[in-house]
């Protein structure tokens, strides 16, 4: 079967698109450790800016989806038995970065806004939506590493 010039052009275009998507996916996968280190540095800078003495250290896990449907990265909090879950809160079409401090039992102790804009979003967040985020993070804590989910800690 001989291809028409239009079909040949279409196949060539689709092959280029596929190659660009594959190269982008490979680059995204290969740079994950670097991007995670940049995220940890940005979180630590935000904590310093907020006057918080805690710092995040090594990455426990990064970026995956769990049954809790929360996307974020787990970090070890240095010099404590806590973990920090860095995630985004969506409100009025804007994404705001926050870190939830999770104790050893999987309960959220507090949610720390990582920017002035995130602080404003968290202040305006209705209590039911705040509790929704807390429950989702606690459920993710139960699915991740050593934390056991339970309760609704961190209530407003």
Q: How confident is the model at residue 62 (pLDDT cuts 50, 70, 90)?
A: low
pTM for the whole thing? Answer: 0.70
Q: How confident is the model at residue 21 (pLDDT cuts 50, 70, 90)?
A: very high
Establish if 64 belongs to a structural domain.
yes
pLDDT of residue 2: 82
Q: What is the DSSP letter of 114?
A: S
Establish if 23 belongs to a structural domain.
no
Establish if 124 belongs to a structural domain.
yes
Percent of the chain scored above 90 by pLDDT? 13
Q: What is the mean pLDDT of residues 29-36?
A: 87
- Measured CA to CA, the distance from residue 150 to residue 139 in angstroms comes to 7
Does position 10 have pLDDT exceeding 90, yes or no? Answer: yes
Q: Which domain holds residue 65?
A: 31-143
Establish if 70 belongs to a structural domain.
yes
Establish if 101 belongs to a structural domain.
yes
Establish if 131 belongs to a structural domain.
yes
Establish if 18 belongs to a structural domain.
no
Number of domains in the chain: 1
pLDDT of residue 69: 56
- Average pLDDT of the chain to the nearest whole number: 80
Does position 64 have pLDDT exceeding 60, yes or no? Answer: no
Residue 145: how many other CB atoms lie within 10 Å? 13
Nearest to 74 by CA among 113, 39, 46, 26: 39
**φ and ψ of 79, to 5 deg:** 60, 35
Establish if 52 belongs to a structural domain.
yes
- Measured CA to CA, the distance from residue 77 to residue 116 in angstroms comes to 22
């Amino acid at each position: 079967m001989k291809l028409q010039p239009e079909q040949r052009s279409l196949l060539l275009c689709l092959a280029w698109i596929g190659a660009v998507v594959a190269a982008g996916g490979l680059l995204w996968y290969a740079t994950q450790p670097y991007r995670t280190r940049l995220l940890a540095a940005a979180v630590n800078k935000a904590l310093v800016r907020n006057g918080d003495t805690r710092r995040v250290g090594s990455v426990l896990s990064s970026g995956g989806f769990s049954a809790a449907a929360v996307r974020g990265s787990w970090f070890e909090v240095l010099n404590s038995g806590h973990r920090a879950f860095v995630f985004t809160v969506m409100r009025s079409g804007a994404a705001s970065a926050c870190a939830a401090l999770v104790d050893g039992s999987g309960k959220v102790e507090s949610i720390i806004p990582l920017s002035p804009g995130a602080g404003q979003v968290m202040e305006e967040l209705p209590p039911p939506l705040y509790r929704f985020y807390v429950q989702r993070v606690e459920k993710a804590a139960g699915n991740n590493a050593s934390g056991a989910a339970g309760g609704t800690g961190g209530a407003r």
